[in-house]
Each structure stands twice: as structure tokens, then as C-alpha cells.
Structure 1
Amino acid sequence: MAELLEIVTNAATLLCPDLEENTQTLQRKIELLKSRKVDVQADLQNAGKKRKREVEDWLINVENNITEFETLEQEIQCSRFYSRQKLAERVERMTKEVMELDEQSDFPGGLFLEVDESIGQLMLTPPHNGQAFLQYFDDIWASLMDDNILSIGIYGMGGVGKTTVAMHAHDKLLNEPKFSGHVYWITVSQDFSIHKLQSDIAQALKLDFSCGSDEKKRAAQLFQTFQKRGSYILILDDVWKQIDAEKIGIPPRRDGCKLVITSRLKEVCDRMDCQRIIKVNTLSKQEAWELFLKKLGRVELHPEVEEICKTMVKRCGGLPLALVTLAGSMRGVTDIHEWRDASEELKQSCMGRADMENEVLPILLYSYDRLRDPKLQRCFLYCSLYPEDFYINREELIENFISEELMDRRLSWRAENDQGHAILNQLERACLLERVWDEYHVKMHDLIRDMALGITKHNPRYMVKARLNLREIPDVQEWTEDLDKISLMVNRIEEISIGMSPNCPRLSTLILSHNPLKSIPNCFFTQMCGLRTLNLSNTSIQYLPHSISDLENLRTLLLRSCLNLKSVPTLEKLRLLTRLDLARTKIEELPEGVESLTNLKVLDLNCRSLSIPTGVLHSLSLLQKLRLPSHIGVPIEDVLALKQLEDFGGSVNSVSDLNRLITFLQSMMPPSFYSIILISKFDEQIILDASHRKSVCFGQESLMDSSLGEGKILLPRDIEDLRFSRSGLNGSLADGFQMLNNARCVKRCSVHREDEIECIIRLSSIEEQQSRGAPFQSLKNLLLRSLPNFIGLFMWEGKAAVAPLLPGIFTQLTVLEILSCNKMKKLIPRSLLQTLPNLQNLKVMDCNEIEEIIGDEDDDGSSVINSSAEVTLPWLKLLKLGNLRKLKSIYKGKMICDSIEKIIIMRCTNLKKVPPLDGQPSPPPSLKKITVDEKEKEWWESLEWEHPNANNFLQPFVKFGPYALFYV
């Protein structure tokens, strides 16, 4: 076999003898191109001007060639005789492209535009789908900058990119000085109401209505608020019908104020009297092809596959959404048979469709069909139960997938949770779901949701009327016998008619959450014998009808945040129930029959008034996830009997119970999630935070027991979140709580209202530090609030010489937040600043005595800072200083913060310099915004700058706002 392989390899070399040599030549040219790219980027970074579009295109093309060459090298190394000829052709083609890019790098006329557009400083050309997109963007921007054009309409078919191009304009407008950041984005949607639109605009304006729900008065208040803002831009996205601006409270058009709308309908732009109307068309054939290839991934297509792709792209009709979705569904497919099969399926799904709008949905439907796996399809369709433009919490969605039995069954809760995340990731990759900015939520594109709702008109059968501003429940005639799921969430339904009893024997899911629903007639559920999921969360209901007790097929009952709910009827017959959520209700006693729910896997009883009798949990042996009230200690013996428990939240009354519980949870394989509070008495301020998994909180007076010695308290070995709230800490945190030395995984630490604590670490000799250990090696977030005797992060021990910290302490810290520590005069000495190399966010607020952020050492003979001393915070992105009346210095020497993005300084009027912004001939390259109290413009103008032009080149970044927004 080895001999055969050698023969084949030799034959391949004979066929293309120059491949290796040509590849080496290409590699040298690539390296030269990389060097030229670095030089160009350095010039761009140091200038602070608007770069030419051809420069941006050149940079993108260079990066694409570098990436392609890396792939090409790997393919050459693995090649055989049948592919070397094609690889040689690719090397030759790439060599020509690289040489052309090298020639283009001279950029006749320079890198920058001659026009000085302050808004364009440091702003990259928006990512785009081609030249047409740039043309739309330029047209829109020109209209926005034209003082004679006060209203702009952007229209085109669904999924064509109207919202995308408007969003890029919105982002650039935020840095446009003439509008002072007064740029507001409102998503309107198809079924808007005046009341909802008024509320959305008020939220964008940070306005609280003082006039209740009267729409005329709300309009008047909005009108007055807009008038006070001066120049502004209001963007209304996804408008489906004419909006009466006067009824909403939008002022008539005037100089400096502009209205922008996006719509699928030109007549909407006409009826709203838009002065400039711009149509966004579908992509050209070439741009459609380029977008498809980009989303498919940089792959070398077989000639037959390439022809198939072109046929498929043609059927997408140049619609970006369809192209992206189709490419996402085919990413990674290499088999020619699968490509041919895909093309045939796509052709059949589009047959008989005449106009573009009707052709798009079948293309999207095809992506749904290509999911193949029924569980992926079930989970995807379930997402359509949520309202349009709704940010759906991933964790909530996965819990619903589990309780609705939409996924494969797994033995553990963690395994099912992992499966849920995998499914959501697959749906995102197929472009059927979008992950939003915070990464904890997903949403469905309007057109994708339309497609899903189209599917659910047949099989399975859904009735979805979510967030449609309904005041009444749909007529009984709409509740047909073949319905599988109904969602009426996020409406204004207050009651269900007496005597209403829909005949829905197949109905498995009913969602009435987020309605002001007060009562349900007893007969309402009598003909829903198949109901498996009932969600009444966030309603105003006080009592549940007794007919719920007869829903023997019920698996999930969700009553979370029913703040008026005082009692629940007997649950004795609901023996199939697997999930029960009573959190944040007013119930004081467990519902009758809970001990009979032997199939329960998820139980949330985190209520402020609820008591739990001993022994009641012992029978619920299948529980995997349990939340108990935070105000009372758990019945520890009952919890220790739950051998399937994987996720626990609750309080314990003693160190002994804490240690037993931790030992039990850590014995699980894999170890459980937990959120545990140690309390000696009830503390109203401590609320169980289920979002912080692997968390332990030491509550009021829990550490004041004199019998607590070193080693008496156990901490989980994988603890990530550690909190202290009035627990009785004193001295230094590291000394007073030495168990930290064994908690090497802690990523977040919060210390709140600890009256005696003075510092985090007491500095001493290296030898003594080594004997104490080195905590905080994984810490990322440190939050310190309301510590009246806190002096600073570090405190010298007597008059000892300054000693360095042990390696690793605080080196992972990214967020440091200090609030209301009124004895502290200095945050950190300069000599220890190197312990914070990864600091990204620094917030110091309401500290009455602080004078320095980075300061001199203590009076022990240590060095004193001079004006030439330099410090570097290489990753600092956010600096937020507020209400520090005695603050004189952020730092007396030079401070290098090239990564700084936002600086917020309010009520620090003794401050004379802002060193992260000073000492350079241009703004820091990453700077986006400087926020100053609107009442302190004079203070800002009086600041001292080392560079004489600093105030001028920083001015475009400065925004003035009310102090109330400082804490937002």
C-alpha cells in the first residue's frame, strides 16, 4: 500500500512539477501584501479622517486572499494527482490577483477623502451586499444631510434589506454632531396601535407618561418632549399602513427634524407625504451570486455543483433573505447527489408561483423542509408562538422545548438543556433564527415567521394572535376542533366571557401569559381534555377555576409572576405533571396534592410568603430542578433525598446544613448547578437570582457566629459566583474569608453593605502572602457597594515595605465597579496597577472622599509619581466616574488607553484632566463616545489638555445628557 501511495504521489508531481515552487512564490507575495496591509492600517488609524471606499474594498480583498491562501496550502498538502492540476490553476489565478492588489496599494490621491466630514472620522464603510447597497446608503445619507428634505420613505419587498440599510444609517447618525445623538429607532410592525406606538416612542425618549392611558394627553406630552429636543431623527421601521403623526404626538415637519419610514408598500410612503422616496430592489445576478458564495463559505465548487448553485440562486430572485437562508441550509454539503436532490426539491417548491413575494415563501419553506429532523422542525415552529419582533429568551425556550416534549428524551436535565442549545444553534446556522446582540435571546425574521405561521395553518394547526392588542379573547368559532396550539400572549385581555367553553379536544398548548387577565370561568377548560401545557404567567389572575384540577393530561402548569394569585385548587389528579412554576405568586400554602405529583421534574416555589412543610418534597424523587423560597431555610433532609437533583436554588439556616448540601450537590455526576443563600435571619434585600448558577451568597449576619473558624465552611469546588450581603465580614476579604483560597473558579464576587470590611487584600511580605494563599485567580467581575469603612482594594500592613502581589491575583479581572464606599481616598496604587492587565470596565460612583483613582503609595517611603511616569491599561473600554466631588486626579502621569470606547464623567467638577484622552495628537482609535452631565458644559470646557488641539478633535465625540441617565 505504501509503495502504491508513493507511485501515485510521484505521478502527481510529474503532472504538475512547478506547483510547490509556484506556491512558495505566491506565499512570498502574500507575506509582502500582509506587510503592506499593516502599513495601510497604521496610516488609517493615526489619521482620524474618512477613508476612501476603495481603501476599504482593498483591505477586504487582501483579507479574503490571505484566508483563501491558508485554505489552499492545506489542500495542496493533502492533494493527489487528480486535484493537482486544478490546484495549480488556482495558484496561478491567485498570484495574478495578489500582484494586482500590490499594484493598487499605491492609492493615487491618498487614502482619505478631501472633504472633512467629522461624522465620518474613524467610521468604517458599513458591511454591504454589493454596490447597489452602497448606492442606497449614499442616497439615504444625502437626503438625511439635505436640510430641505424632512421626510424619507424607504420601501421594497419583504427581506430585501430595507431595515438593514436603515440600521446602518441609524448607526452613523449617532455620531453626527448636528443631531446630538437624538436619533430614535422604533419598530412599528403590522398590527400596531396608537397606544403601543406612543409607548415605544416614549421608551426611546426615556419619557415616563404622567397622563395615564389617555391617548390625546400622551400625544401632547410626546409633542412637547420632541419640541424640547431641538434637532432629531425619528425612524419608524416596518410600517404597514398610514400613521397619523398628530394622533401619535409626532410634531409637524420643521427644520432640523426628520422622519424616516421603511415599508413594504410604496403607497404608505405616498400617503405619509414623504418628500424623498427610495426603493430598495433585489440584488443583481452578480451581487446575488457573490452574496450566496459568501454565506456558503469559501469553497471550491465542482463545475456541476456550480451550475446547480447558479440555478438555485436564480430562483431566489435576488432577495438577500432568501439567498442567505438557502446558503445557510446548504453550508457544508459536498455530495453531488445531495446538491442535485436539493435543486430538484427547490424547483418543485417554487412551481406555480408568479410574482416574487409568492416565490420567496416557498424558498424559505424549502429551508424548513431541509431541516429533515422532525424535532428541529417542531422546535422551529414553536418559536412562531411568540409575537413578531419578540426577543425570545434562550433558556425559557429550551425549558419549553423540554416540557413540551419536542426533543429527544435524555436521562438528565443537563443533557436535555445541551440538546436544546444545540437545536437553537442549528436553527441559527440555517438562518431560520437570529441571535440578538446580548447572545441570550433569539428572534425570528418577519418573513421567516410568516412562513412558519403559513405551515401551522395546516399541520400542526396553530392559532397565533400574540401581541395584537386584543382586548377580548377570540370568538368561540375560531377555537376549532383541530387546533394543536394557541398563543394569545402579550395582549390586553382582562376577562373570558362567562359560559365560554371551546371544544378543542386536540389542543395541547394554551398560552395566555402577559395579559391583565383577572378570572377564568370554570367551564372554560371542560372540553380541553388533551391539554398538556397551560401558561398563565404574568397575568392578574387571583383564583384559578376548579376545572383545572381535572386536566389529567397536563404536563406543564406555569403561573410565574401572577402577583395576585393567592391559592391554587387541588393538583391531586395531575399525576402526569412534570413542570410546576409558582414563583412570585402570593400563595402562602402549597396546593393540595403536590405530594402526589411523583412525575415532577421541575418545581419552582420561590415565593416570599410560602411555607413548606417538612416531608412534602421527599416523595418527589424525580425532581431535577428545584427552586425554594429564599426567606426560609430548606428542609434539608427532604432535599438530600432527591437523588436526581441537578439544579437547586434556596436558602439554608446553618453552616452545617450548607456543608451537607454542598457535599450532596458536588457528589452528582456531573456536578449540579446551584444558587444557595446562607442566612441567620430573613433579609428582605436578598433575592434568589436563578440566572447566577453556581452561586453562593452569605446573607445577613451569617458570618458573625464566633464559632466559625477556618475550614468550617465548605465552598463548592466549581463555584463561579460569590456574594456577601451584611454577612459580618471584617478586615480584608481575603483574610476574613480564607476559604477563597480553595475557590479558584470564582468569576464574580459581590460585596454589599458590609460595615466592617476595609479592603480586599491586606499587603504584607511575600512569605506571609504565600502562607495565606493566592485567591481571585479566575475573578472577572468585582462589585463593591455601600462599604462605609472600605479604604481601597489593597491596604498596607503597618509600615511594611511595599511587596508585590503573588502572581495571578486579579489578572483575569475585566469589570471593577465600586459604589458608595465613602471612606476610600484612593482606588489603587500605581505600583500594583500591573495586577489588572485585563481590566475592561471601570466604574466608580458616589464615593464622597475619593481623591485619586490611580495614586501615590501610602506614607511608608514608597515612590512618588512624577509627571513623566507612564501607565498602560491596554484593554480598558469603559471608564465611568460619577458623583465624586473630591476627585482631583484619575492619574497624575501619562495614561495609555488605546482601547477606550466610552468615557462617562458626571459630577466630578474638581477633576482638571482626563488622561485617557490626553497626550496624543488624535483621539484614541477605538473612541466612540464621551458623555458629560448636561449641566457641566462649562466644566468640560475648562479642562486642561496637554495637546493644544485636544478639545477640538474630541468635540465630535462629546454628548451632554441628564445625570439621571448615568445609572442606566
Structure 2
Amino acid sequence: MMMRIANVLIRKEEDHQLPWDIFCENVVRSLVDSSSALKQMAIQLVKECHCHLLAVVLLARALKDVTDISVWELALQKLSSHSSAMEEGSSQVMKRVLGVVWYQKDLKTKYCIQHCTSRWKEGLVEGSPVSEWISSNFVQTEAEGKGIFEDLISSFLLENKDRGVFMRTETKVVLDEYFTSSLPSIYIRQGGLGLIKTPTIGEYTKEIELHDNKLSELPENPKCLALRKLRLQNNCDLMDIPQLFFEDMPLLVYLDLSHTSIKYLPRSISRLVSLQTFYLRGCKLLKKLPHHIGALQKLEDFDLEGTEVIYLPREIGKLISLRRFKVSLCGHANYCGETKQTDSAIPKEVLSIFCQLEELSIDVSPDGEWWDDDVNPASHWWDADVKAILNALSSSNKLRILELYLPSVELLQQVRFESENLEFPYFRLIVGRHQQRIICRLPNGVEKRFKTWVKKYMKCLQYINGEHMPGGITEALKHASLLFMDRHWTIKVLSEFGHENLDNLQCCLLVECNELQTIVGGDYECPSGGDRKPILPLLCHLSIYYMKNLESIWQGSIPNGSLFNLRSLTLHTCPRLTTIFTPDMLVNLHCLEELIVEDCPKIRSIVTQEHAHVESDRFLEHLRKIALLDLPQLVTISGPLCLGKKVDILFIYNCPMLESLGNTKISPNYYKIVGEKEWWESLKWHNSKWRRMTQPAYEELRTVEDVMDHLAKDIYSDQPCATKRYPDSESSDEDSVDELADEDFGDELAEDL
């Protein structure tokens, strides 16, 4: 019959009897002949199709076996309630006929139709769409899907051909344009809109994005049988989740509740049997996890970083699929007697799954009195937990990322960086007891930058409150790409750790090491001997803060290739520092892009004015950012030498004795100069032409807030400076300024006189 219909549809339309014959054949002629009223209505319906044969077939199939005359009346009303379709075009006929068909279908069938129109671009599709409907959760069973498929075949919306299925192009186009597009979206993407109320959620919604809003309440028991992803992070006003909220979300695989104010998880969390990814990052009010968390046996990624969980329930040991686990413990468990189920924050049942992990991160809050032995006799509770963790990991051959707080160097010695079983390429180890996070004391923007470096340089060692050179630290340094050393009490030269142990360092952050006098002793002899190899050859970032006795960066001879990759250098609050660069050092610093010097009262020049045999007057040609703040003795930036070629930004604040930007005929092009108005107007220039060239680049600093804003935006940001060249700065030849000056020598002389 389908073949006969297909052949009929391509016949010429001169046969005016044909539409009636087709209608009767598809609606069942005996039904039409059974009632004069139905027959009269059928004649009118065929007339309203205006000889559009496909519309006739679709309409007839919609009314097949329908004996209720009110249904026929409604169909006729829908078709005849508009102006002549011949004037409007045949697509309007299809629109009205498909409107009758669409009205008859239930919501589930409509979504299946939408799936077909959106996925089947053109041509024949092999096989039945039922399996796709099941995987998209439009239907639950194969039998249900087959029922809908047979209905669409019977309705002539879909057709079988050979071994495949297809939908006629005209049908698909009209359905797409007028019907399927009006269905409630299966994707709700309303993040960052400031919503205070949850939008209506449909039964077939697959993904919901409501992050970064102002939601404070959630619906009690939404029916989300098709939902797979739910993003609610950064709704800071959200404090409670209704107990039945997750009751009807059996297919949910991704859930993000990070940075909300929730205090507990509802009991319906156990209903999320398909959940694979669960984020609770930054939920600082969440102190405990429910015991029924163990029901999430498909969970692979569980992130509790930034929470203050008191202890982990035993039931986490039931998460047999877990591969990535991150948690922040508040550390008060043993001290406050909160863990009634165990004497440990991490029970042995939880330790049993650690050997299956690929990534493990356990952070312990260092704040408060509970680390103080005098206040808290149980302050060493974490030592025992760490030993148990390391023992559990010793049998792992899957671990690739380890982040762990180790209270003592002795515990660090249990970590085997190159053992047969435990060989992880990425680690972040915090070693040493401490009472506060020094990173919070650093200047605005530094903490964010440090976190970026930690993610980039994935082998990170943080050493806090250290003394001497323990073997465990030097061994870890051999493998580390980032070193953060905070309050080392005895070290005088970083070289004491051994140059050979610093070869892999790419980022180094040093804070409050009060005995430290210099970073590198160039004449330091490595215990292993050997020739004069480059020192710190891979180091890209060096940041130094609050160094009471630091006098210089480098002492002694400088092997070729040392500091060759250094890209940024930051010096902050070093009251005894007198030397930053020597001309000999500059030769090696080919890659330096950023220089920040702040609150170093004894600095008179960035480059010392010592005699040295240098072949060029220009150095640091890749230098892009220079920030000089609170340097009361700074007289010159580089003396007779030129630092940089095209500098994106020069930032000067509270350097009252800096009266000139250069004492040399060769000067860099500054695309942006930021400083106080009084300082700018008092500057002395090598020649007036350069002054006129530079004037458009200047931006005034008016307030302390301006200083902070510029530091965050222009200096500590890792984004390229949004600068534009000022007039006459296009020339990059070293002698361009001199040539301009020579051409205008007479004018300058007259002006100066």
C-alpha cells in the first residue's frame, strides 16, 4: 500500500477525482460511506487540502477509524479557519494539516518526532530510531518505542523503505518550522542571569544550567526522569536542598553544587544511582557527609575541595568506581570529639579504595589553635592518618596525581617518587607545620597567579617552617617543577639545596626566609662535582617576598645558560636588597618579560653601575612589563644601559628620586606609562623629541585604588596588555630616536636655551 501511495503522489494533479480516492482509501471508505454527515465533512476536508496529495494522505491517516464526529468537526474547523491556501501557498496547507496530526500526539511522541526532524537531515536512515529514543530517554522500554514508531508509520510521518526509514522533506520542513521548535527545550541554559526563582522544568529536560544566579529555594520533588546534567554552582544564597529533590532523577550523571551555602545533603542523594561526577567545591558550611553517600556506586569523580568536612564516613569505602577524589578537612575531628564512629578522620574502610584512585587530593586546614601542642594535646592526629594514607597508596599502580599535606619531613620520606608501584607524574605536597596560609598575605593578584602556576606546573613542593636541608626535601626537589618555600629559618643561600637538585624548577616562590642573603651562589661547589653547568636553566618565574636579609639575587660567577628561561622576576619588601641585576647577569636573561620591584628601600638602580665588559648597550629585548613601586632611593632604571625594546607598560609609583627614564641615547618604546602626575611633570628628558613621542603613552595615577586596579589589570594579569602604539613609535630601529633628534637639533637647542 505504501508503494501505491508513493506512486500516486507523483501523478499529475489534473485528475481531480484523485484526492478523493486517496482520502477514502486511507481513511477507510466504509467509514465515510457509513454516515452522510461524515461523507459531507470528508468532502469539505478534501476540498480544504486544495489537491495537495501528501496533505490528503496525512489528514486521512489522522482520521482513520475515528467514529467520533466531534473529532472530524474539529479537524474541519482547524483547516477552514484561515484564508484560501491557494493564495498563501501549499506549505500553509501542510501547516494546517500537520496541526491536526500534531494535536493528536502525546508529549512523548512529539519529542520522538522532534528527534527525527533534528537528527535526520535528509535521505534514508538505516534501522529503527527506537534505540536512539531509548538512549535519549524519550522512551523507557523497547516495547514503548516500537509502539510510537508504529504509530508514526501509520500516521505517514515516517515511511519504511528497503531496510531503512525516512521522513519526507516537506513534512520535515513544516514540522521543524511550526511545531517541534515550540516544544519545551530539553536544555535549560540560564546561568548567570540573576534568577531568584527556578524556571519550569519539563519531564524530558536533559540538561539544566542555573549556575551563577541568586536562587535560594529549589522545588520539592521535580520529576526529571530524563535529566543527565545539573549545574547549580555559585548560587550563594542556596542553603537547603529539599529532602525529596533528587528522588526522581535516575539518569543524572553530573551534579555541581559548588560554592553554595548548603549545610547537608538530603537523603534522596542516595537515589542518584547513575551519578558519575559530583562537585561540592567551596561549600564551607558542609561539615558532614551522610552515610547513604555509599549508594553512589557509579561515582567516578568526587570533589570536596574547599569544604571543611570534619571526617569521612565509612560508607565512602563503598564507592567502588571512584577514580578521582579531592577533599578538604577542617582538622577539628579528633580535637572536638566529633567522630563518634572512628578515632580517625579517614577510616580504614575509606583507605581501602585509595589503591584504585588515579587522583587523590587531601587538604587539611592549617588555621587555628588545633595545631598548637600547648592548646591541643591531640594536634598530631593527622600524622597517623597520613601514615595510613601512604601505606594504602604503596600498593597502588594507578595513582597519577597526589596532593597531600604532610606535617613533617619524616612523612615525606615515605613517598617514593620512582618506585615500581607508586610512580605518579603529578604531585602537590605541602610539608611542615604552620598556623596560617602565608599566601593570603601576599599582594593583590599574587594568590590568583600562584594558583594558576600550581595548575600549570603540576609537580609542586611547598615547604613551610623548615630548618636545614633534610634529605626528603632535596629528593623531592629533584622532581619538583614548582617550589614554594615559606619561613625557612636557617637557609642563607638557595644553592645550599644543591644546584643539581634545582635543575627541574620552573617556578620558585620564596617568602619570609629571614636568613636568606642571596638566591644563587655562583661559586657554590656541588657535592657531586662536575663542570660549570648552567644554574636554574629551566626557571621561568622567580618571586621573592618579605626577605629581611636578602642582599642580592646572584653572587659569584655566572655560568652560561643560567636563568636562560627566566620570564618574570618579582621582589617585594626586601629592606637590605641593593643589587638586582649586574651587566654580566643581563647577558643570560634573554627571555625576561616581566620585572616587578616593590618596597625595596636601598635600591638605587635596577642594574648596578659596576664596570663590566659588555658588547651591547641594549638588554632584555623581550621585556614587556616593568613595575617599580615604593623605591625611595631609586635614581635610575638602568644607567647607561637600555632595558627592553618595546615595553608594553612601565608602572612607576612613589619613586620620588627617579628623575629620568634613561640616560642613554638608545631608549625603549614605552606603549603605556602609568605614574603620578607630579612625578611625570618633573621628569628630565634626554631630548625633547623623545618627550613628545612618549607623552601620548602616559596615564595618570590619581588614588591608591588606581594603583591596586592597575596592578591587578596590567601587572599581575597573565593576559597580554591591551596597548596601542602612540604616534611615531612604529620605528623600531635602535637609532630612531637619535636620528629624529639630529634632524631637529637646531630646534631643540633653541628650546633648551
TM > 0.5 fold call? yes
Contact (CA 8 Å) 2:646, 2:671: kept in 1 or not?
A: no
2:586 equivalent among 808, 821, 833: 833
Query: C-alpha displacement at 1:807, in angstroms?
Result: 1.8
Which residue number in structure 2 is paired with residue 783 of structure 1? 543
Q: Match of 1:793, as an amino acid?
A: I
Q: In 2, distance between residues paired with 1:684 and 1:619? A: 30
Partners of 2:467 and 2:491 within 8 A in 1: no
Following superposition of structure 1 onto structure 2, how do residues 170-569 of structure 1 map, counting pairs within 5 Å?
461-474=186-199, 478-497=200-219, 500-515=220-235, 516-569=237-290
Displacement, 1:842?
A: 1.0
1:156 matched to which residue of 2? Answer: none
* 1:715 counterpart = 2:461: no
Offset, 1:757: 0.4
| Residue equivalent to 1:624 | 358
Taking a change above 3 Å as real, the CA distance of residues 561 and 873 of structure 1, as seen in their structure-2 partners, is same
1:929 is displaced (CA, Å) by: 0.7
Matched, 1:703 2:462: no
CA gap 1:880/1:683 in 2 versus in 1, 3 angstroms: same
Inter-CA distance 459–729: structure 2 relative to 1 (3 Å threshold): farther
1:726 maps to which residue?
Answer: 487
Distance in 2 between residues matched to 1:767 and 1:638, nearest whole Å: 37
Change (3 A) 1:369 1:464: farther
Distance in 1 (CA, whole Å) between partners of 2:627 and 2:671 is 14
Report how far residue 682 of structure 1 moved: 4.8
Q: Structure 2 residue aligned with 1:807, among 560, 574, 591? A: 560
Match of 2:736 in 1: none
- Pick the aligned partner of 2:680 from 940, 945, 953: 940
Give the match for residue 458 of structure 2.
Answer: 694
Alignment-derived partner of residue 645 in structure 1? 399
Equivalent in the alignment of 1:663: 417
Post-superposition Cα deviations, 1:143-201, rounded to whole Å, max 9, x if no partner, equal xxxxxxxxxxxxxxxxxxxxxxxxxxxxxxxxxxxxxxxxxxxxxxxxxxxxxxxxxxx
Q: Would you say the 8 A contact 1:865–1:892 is kept in 2?
A: no
- The CA deviation string for residues 648-685 of structure 1, in whole angstroms up to 9 with x for no partner, is 1112233343243242578667x421111111445433
Q: Paired residue for 2:662, among 909, 915, 919?
A: 915
Query: Residues 885 and 667 (structure 1 numbering): CA distance in 2 closer, same or farther, change over 3 Å?
Result: farther
Quote the residue 2:738 is aligned against.
Answer: none
- What SS class does the counterpart of residue 794 from structure 1 fall into? strand
1:605 to 327, 339, 357: 327
Indicate how the Cα distance of structure 1 residues 750 and 455 shifts in structure 2: closer, same or farther if over 3 A, else same.
farther
Indicate the SS of the match to 2:306.
coil
Question: What is the distance in 2 between the residues matched to 1:743 and 1:912?
Answer: 40
| 8 Å contact kept, 1:535–1:558 | yes
Q: Give yes or no for contact 2:552–2:580 (8 Å, CA) kept in 1.
A: yes
Kept in 1: contact 2:309–2:328 (CA 8 A): no
Distance 1:842 1:536, change over 3 A: same
Q: Distance in 2 between matches of 1:456 and 1:591?
A: 47
Q: Is the 8 A contact 2:482 2:508 kept in 1?
A: yes
Q: Which residue of 2 aligns with 1:4?
A: none
**TM-score scaled by structure 2?**
0.60
Shift of 1:592: 4.6
Identity %: 23
Secondary structure, aligned partner of 1:661: coil
Contact 1:582-1:607 at 8 Å conserved across structures: no
Are residues 790 and 465 of structure 1, via their aligned partners in 2, closer, same or farther at CA, if it must alter by over 3 Å? Answer: same
Per-residue deviation, 1:758: 0.5
From 932, 949, 955, the counterpart of 2:689: 949
Matched, 1:572 2:325: no
Report the counterpart of residue 873 of structure 1 in structure 2: 620
Q: Is the 8 A contact 1:766 1:806 kept in 2?
A: no
Structure 2 residue aligned with 1:928: 671
One-letter amino acid of the counterpart of residue 586, structure 1: E
1:851 partnered with 2:604: yes
In structure 2, the CA distance between the partners of 1:455 and 1:943, relative to structure 1 (3 Å rule), is farther
- The structure-2 alpha-carbon separation of the partners of 1:530 and 1:871, relative to structure 1 and needing over 3 Å to count, comes to closer
Task: Provide Cα deviations, 1:426-457, integer angstroms capped at 9, x if missing partner.
Answer: xxxxxxxxxxxxxxxxxxxxxxxxx9xx9998
2:189 partner letter: V
| Aligned equivalent of 2:517 | 758
The one-letter amino acid paired with 2:233 is S
* Distance in 1 separating the partners of 2:492 and 2:708: 34
Task: Tell me the secondary structure at the aligned position of residue 307 of structure 2.
Answer: coil
Partners of 1:751 and 1:959 lie apart in 2 by 32
The Cα shift of 1:806 comes to 1.4
Aligned to 2:31: none
Alignment partner of 2:576: what SS? Answer: coil
Q: 1:741 corresponds to which letter in structure 2? A: E
Residue identity opposite 1:679 in structure 2:
G
Ranges in structure 1 where 5+ consecutive residues have no aligned partner: 1-351, 353-364, 371-450, 797-803, 858-862
Mean CA deviation greater in 546-555 or 784-793? 546-555
| Letter paired with 1:931 | V
Q: Does 1:737 align with 2:457?
A: no
Distance 2:120 2:355 in 1: 39
Task: Answer whether contact 1:625 1:648 (CA < 8 A) is retained.
Answer: yes
**Displacement, 1:628?**
0.4
User: What does the per-residue CA deviation read over 1:359-379, in whole Å, with 9 as the maximum and x for residues that have no partner?
Assistant: xxxxxx999989xxxxxxxxx
**TM-superposed deviation, 1:828:** 1.9
Query: C-alpha distance in 2, partners of 1:625/1:540?
Result: 26
Task: Provide the rounded CA distance (Å) in 1 between the counterparts of 2:643 and 2:457.
Answer: 36
Check the 8 A contact 2:354/2:393 in 1, yes or no. no
Aligned mates of 1:625, 1:584 — CA distance in 2: 16
Q: Deviations over 1:789-844 (max 9, x none)?
A: 00011235xxxxxxx41121111111111111111122122233212122111111
Output the amino acid matched with 1:713.
Answer: T
* Aligned counterparts of 2:511 and 2:545: Cα–Cα separation in 1: 5
Structure 1 contact 757–790 (Cα < 8 Å) conserved: yes
One-letter code aligned to 1:967: L
Q: For residues 665 and 577 of structure 1, do their structure 2 counterparts lie closer, same or farther at Cα, with a shift above 3 Å needed?
A: farther
Contact 2:249/2:271, CA 8 A, preserved across alignment: no
Please say if residues 461 and 476 of structure 2, whose CA atoms lie closer than 8 Å, have aligned partners that are also in contact.
no
Give 3-state SS (helix, strand or coil) of 2:548's partner.
coil
Q: Do the aligned partners of residues 489 and 682 (structure 1) sit closer, same or farther apart at CA in structure 2, a change above 3 Å counting?
A: same
Partner Cα separation in structure 1 for residue 530 and residue 625 of structure 2: 33
> Structure 1 871/467 Cα, relative in aligned 2: closer, same or farther at 3 Å?
closer
Shift of 1:754: 0.7
CA change 1:871–1:462 in 2 (3 A) is closer
Contact 1:618 1:639 in 2 (8 A): no
CA change 1:749–1:526 in 2 (3 A) is same
Instruction: Give the Å deviation of 1:967.
Output: 3.0
- The answer to whether the 8 A contact 1:770-1:806 is kept is no
Distance in 2 between residues matched to 1:908 and 1:636, nearest whole Å: 52
- Out of 594, 616, 634, the residue aligned to residue 316 of structure 2 is 594
- Gapped regions of structure 2 (runs ≥ 5): 1-93, 95-116, 123-175, 334-344, 367-381, 441-449, 713-753
1:678 maps to: 431
SS at match of 1:931: strand
Q: In the TM superposition, what whole-angstrom CA distance separates every residue of 1:521-551 from its partner, at most 9, and x where no partner exists?
A: 1122222222222211111112221111232
Q: Distance in 1 between matches of 2:479 and 2:682?
A: 51
What SS does the corresponding residue of 2:647 show, helix, strand or coil? Answer: coil
Contact 1:649 1:675 in 2 (8 A): yes
Q: Which has the larger radius of gyration?
A: 2
Shift, 1:765, TM fit? 8.7
